[in-house]
Structure 1
Amino acid sequence: MTRPKIRITLIDQKGPHGCHRGHKIGDSYDFDTERGELCPMAMHVAFPYVDILRYGGSIPGNEPGTAVFCCPDVDTINVFRIEVIQPDENEGNEGLKS
């Protein structure tokens, strides 16, 4: 069994300042190939959710295969969605970053 791909997408910004890392709403990252482009603070929060979803778990209050979290930077408060990408969705989706 292969691990499913994971996509992390910035879906909202709630803080009073723009992202210090330059992330914009709609930016998407493939966890396996582009995680180095994601802010380290956000990645630190995302990792446990990625692990849970990738290995078949679910996050209470979220749709199956998804998790929503925010970065810990109180000035920015970027809101991200993590999605498990099923194998048939991966075909032709090289470079998920918008």
Structure 2
Amino acid sequence: MPERPRITITLVDRKGPRGCHRGHRVGDSFDFDTERGKLCPMAMHVAFPYVDILRYGGSMPGTDDPNVCLFCCPDADVINVFRIERHAG
């Protein structure tokens, strides 16, 4: 059985008028398997379905790279933009 792919979540942009309440900054990166507890729970809640899709072989419609997707933090005052990447296991 092939190894499960590794997943990283990286903060790539911020659109909202306020800084992150959790202290995340553009460039912060998290390994989903070993560091997900460090990621803001609100962002993690949004990320989880995308992580599942990528981890188990799917991809997001309309993306140029099937190993990458973007999502936003649900806090309208912050609106952090994260990139999820699938890496070979």
The normalised TM-score by structure 2 is: 0.95
Identical counterparts, % of pairs: 72
The unaligned stretches of length 5 or more in structure 2 are none
Match in the other structure for 2:26 = 25
**TM-superposed deviation, 1:5:** 0.4
The residue type equivalent to 1:85 in the other structure is H
Could you list the per-position Cα deviations for residues 18-39 of structure 1 after superposition, in whole angstroms to 9, with x for gaps in the alignment? 0000000000000000000000
Matched residues, number = 87
The normalised TM-score by structure 1 is: 0.86
The unaligned stretches of length 5 or more in structure 1 are 88-98
5 Å matches for 1:48-59?
48-59=49-60
Match in the other structure for 1:66 = 68
User: What stretches of structure 1 move > 2 A for 4+ residues in a row?
Assistant: none
